[in-house]
Structure 1
Amino acid sequence: MKKDLVIIALLVLIMLFKLVDIVADVQLEIPAWHIAQESVLVLLTVIATLYLSRDLMRRSRQVKALAHRLAQADKQIDNLSTQMRAARQEYSQAVASQFDTWGFTKSEQQVAFLILKGLSFKEIAEVRQTKEKTVRQQASTIYGKAEVDGRHTFCAWFMEDFIQDHNQELANNEAA
């Protein structure tokens, strides 16, 4: 935008100098064709200055509108982030509550959360600074208490309600 302002200012200066030159030419009784030529140049400079000024103002309004929309989008993202944090917290509490219902020990709860996060037994052992065999035994106990047959069924148990709700929405949309 500064470049546009500089160009407009230069065009205005050129126009002013040309006008002064035309006045001087008239006083010096320079031929009319020369004064007409310079007058056309002044007219073209005026047109170019008006065009660039109008375009600059239009772009300035667009930039302001975009900045406003960007600020609104940032607010929406902040709101969504807040909602996502709240939903994540609520979901974590629901999972922890289910772990309590199944009677998981604190150690089993830690392993179960890491299983749900998708870590391998080896990774869980490294995070918890235990042996992989210990993690496998804890996972087996977790699956037994949850009455599931393995990691995938255990993870799916927590997703089932979400998937059922989504499938129900799809069925309702197809029926409509």
Structure 2
Amino acid sequence: MKDKFIAVLLGIIMVLNFFDVITDISLGVPTWHIIEESMIVLASAIGFVFLIIEIKSRTQHIQHLKAELVNSDIRIQNISDEMKYARTKYSELIYKQFNEWKLTKSEQEVAMLLLKGLSFREISGVRDTKEKTVRQQASSIYDKASIDGRHEFSAWFLEDFLQTHP
């Protein structure tokens, strides 16, 4: 949202300065002044185009992530009954632990996406929230779980399943 606001602001600056350059040319303003304002129009245009491209790229990436999550869910639905049962039981255990830690519904959603390996930026895109909000929720999750961070959080749920070979 912030990027779109900045892009619109740059677009307005670009348009207003463009009309100012046109007016200055018709009034016979010195060439150095016209060149200076033309550079502002050019810099605004470059910034505007860059931001629009970046916004479009991020939007496509987020849509791709959402599609991947849907595809993952579809693939999971196609696994064997035994695996479905195991996944269901494991998910129940994860949510039971979330409840024991007294995680809110939002924190549980963030926690599950963290376990799936998504970055804070990706989670904010998938959940349509600010990245700062996701970081704060993750910090709250780690505090409630009495762990130090993302890696320890993931390890907490995996360590019992990993066996060392004799």
Alignment match, 2:113: 114
Alignment match, 2:85: 86
Unpaired segments ≥5 residues, structure 2: 1-78
Matched, 1:156 2:160: no
AA of the residue aligned to 1:124: I
1: CA distance, partners of 2:159 / 2:146: 15
Matched, 1:127 2:116: no
AA of the residue aligned to 2:151: H
SS at 1:162's partner residue?
Answer: coil
Q: 4+ residue runs of structure 1 moved beyond 4 angstroms? A: none
2: CA distance, partners of 1:162 / 1:85: 17
RMSD over aligned Cα atoms:
1.0
Compute the displacement of 1:160 (Å). Answer: 1.1
1: CA distance, partners of 2:84 / 2:134: 29
Query: What are the Cα deviations for residues 117-140 of structure 1, in whole angstroms up to 9, with x where unaligned?
Result: 000000100111000000000000
Query: What are the Cα deviations for residues 101-125 of structure 1, in whole angstroms up to 9, with x where unaligned?
Result: 0000000000000000000000100
Structure (1/2) with the larger helix percentage = 1
Unpaired segments ≥5 residues, structure 1: 1-79, 172-176
1: CA distance, partners of 2:106 / 2:86: 25
Larger Rg: 1
TM-score w.r.t. length of structure 2: 0.52
SS at 2:161's partner residue?
Answer: helix
- Matched ranges for 1:13-162 at <5 A: 81-162=80-161
SS at 1:161's partner residue?
Answer: coil
Query: What are the Cα deviations for residues 47-79 of structure 1, in whole angstroms up to 9, with x where unaligned?
Result: xxxxxxxxxxxxxxxxxxxxxxxxxxxxxxxxx
**Identity across aligned pairs (percent)?**
60
AA of the residue aligned to 2:148: D
Query: What are the Cα deviations for residues 11-66 of structure 1, in whole angstroms up to 9, with x where unaligned?
Result: xxxxxxxxxxxxxxxxxxxxxxxxxxxxxxxxxxxxxxxxxxxxxxxxxxxxxxxx
The alignment of Structure 1 onto Structure 2 pairs a total of residues equal to: 88
TM-score w.r.t. length of structure 1: 0.49
2: CA distance, partners of 1:134 / 1:142: 12
2: CA distance, partners of 1:145 / 1:160: 19
1: CA distance, partners of 2:122 / 2:90: 23
AA of the residue aligned to 2:135: R
